[in-house]
Amino acid sequence: MGETPHRSADAGTGGTRVTEGHERPTGASARVAEAPVSTRTPGGTGLGGGGALPRARAFGAERAFRGLTLAAGTVVLVIIAAIAVFLVAKAVPALRADTENFWTFEGWFPNDAEPKFGIGALAFGTVLTAALALLVAVPVALGIALYLSHYAPRRVGTTLGFLIDLLAAVPSVVFGLWGREIFLRPVHDFSIWLNKYFSWIPLFGGEGPFGKSILLGSLVLAIMVLPIITSLSREVFLQTPTANEEAALALGATRWEMLRTAVLPYGRPGIIAAVMLGLGRALGETIALAMTLGITFNISFNLIENGGNSIAANIANTFGEANETGRGALIASGLVLFAITLIVNITARVIIYRRREFTESAA
């Protein structure tokens, strides 16, 4: 009972009824077919009538619309170019003033008389927190999405889906507050436990203090990206053609095997897109990380000791006191963040593109 989702209620045999129309009695259909003939005006100057073809209109809605879209596109391009020029113009003097290596120096003192700042630790923290967040969020999100699309009774599915969408609407500053005021406690205790039994793994080593760590930041991030990934992949899973699900079941697949054979492969490009959107959000997340990370400037794989930082969090934390060079340095860090996001997105495109032969025919 109910091995396929509810939306398939009559899809399985539904098509049949349509194509069987010509089994109907011939007498009845003949009568219907004759009816329109009498209403047609004979001869006449109807649309298909004789005479020369009408000339193309010189100026129509068509042209106006084309002009409008072209203008809109151009404006967007100009704005983007202007922003890029502005950012680079601000960043370059600051980078020139940097007395340390911008890529490797672990610290951020751009406001000093001899500015010293490096992006390495920040970029590392950004990527590490985002990656950890995805590591936690993706399996959970896909599990929930599959449950919602293929296991849950309709009412449960709708309610749960709504709650998850609601989670997406919570502002990130609220997540930040919740993270540092409430979630910090259990994470702190969990970190101590990890440290006690697994300190031989460098990830969980250290002497403490524990709590405001990469772990806390990543877990908060994971909760924040969970709804996006869940609701997008749920949509994707729901679009799997019923015919393919039934094909798998008819081959003797269990429900889980059916999901693996028909649903997951079909949803693959969509899953990748959903994960990339989640990653985009995780990489760019600012305030929640600024509030939950320990804000240090070193490169370390220790997940549980106080510490960690990210490019966006650093911008939020230090922009207030930044002088001219400081602001330029932050803008330069923003450009690096942009580059990271771009690389991630391009990678995703390449992955999807490599399988396009299969995904296109799937659409």
Partner 1 sequence: MAKRIEASNVTAYYGAFKAIENINITVEPKTVTALIGPSGCGKSTFLRSINRMHEVLPGARVEGSLTIDDQDIYDRDVDVTAVRRMIGMVFQRPNPFPTMSIYENVVAGLRLNGVRKKSILDEAAEKALRSANLWDEVMDRLGKPGAGLSGGQQQRLCIARTIAVEPQVVLMDEPCSALDPISTLAIEDLMFQLKDKFTIIIVTHNMQQAARVSDRTAFFSIEKTGDPGRLIEYDNTQKIFSNPSQKKTEDYITGRFG
Q: Point out which residues bind ligand ADP (CB under 6 A).
A: 9-10, 12-13, 16-17, 20
Cross-strand partners of 305: 210
CB of 31 to partner 1, least distance (A): 13
Closest to 266 in 3D by CA, of 236, 234, 243 = 236
> What is the Cα–Cα distance from 129 to 148, expressed in whole angstroms?
28
> What is the Cα–Cα distance from 224 to 176, expressed in whole angstroms?
10
Nearer to partner 1, 13 or 45 (CB): 13
Identify what 122 binds: Mg ion, partner 1, ligand ADP, none; CB under 5 to 8 Å per kind. none
CB of 214 to ligand ADP, least distance (A): 51
CB of 137 to partner 1, least distance (A): 24
CB of 20 to partner 1, least distance (A): 3
Under rule CB under 5 A, residue 16 binds Mg ion = yes
Identify what 8 binds: ligand ADP, Mg ion, partner 1, none; CB under 5 to 8 Å per kind. partner 1
Of 11-19, 41-49, 190-198, 294-302, the window that binds Mg ion (rule: CB under 5 A) is 11-19
Residue closest to ligand ADP, measured at CB: 10
CB of 36 to partner 1, least distance (A): 24
Nearer to ligand ADP, 154 or 354 (CB): 154
109 residue type, one letter: F
CB of 16 to ligand ADP, least distance (A): 5
CB of 63 to ligand ADP, least distance (A): 49
Nearer to Mg ion, 19 or 26 (CB): 19
Nearer to ligand ADP, 12 or 93 (CB): 12
Under rule CB under 5 A, residue 19 binds Mg ion = no
Q: Which residues bind partner 1 (CB under 8 A)?
A: 1-4, 6, 8-10, 12-13, 15-17, 19-26, 241, 243-244, 246-254, 257, 261-262, 265-266, 268, 355, 357-359, 361-362
The answer to whether the CB of 141 falls within 8 A of the CB of 226 is yes
Contact positions vs Mg ion (CB under 5 A): 16
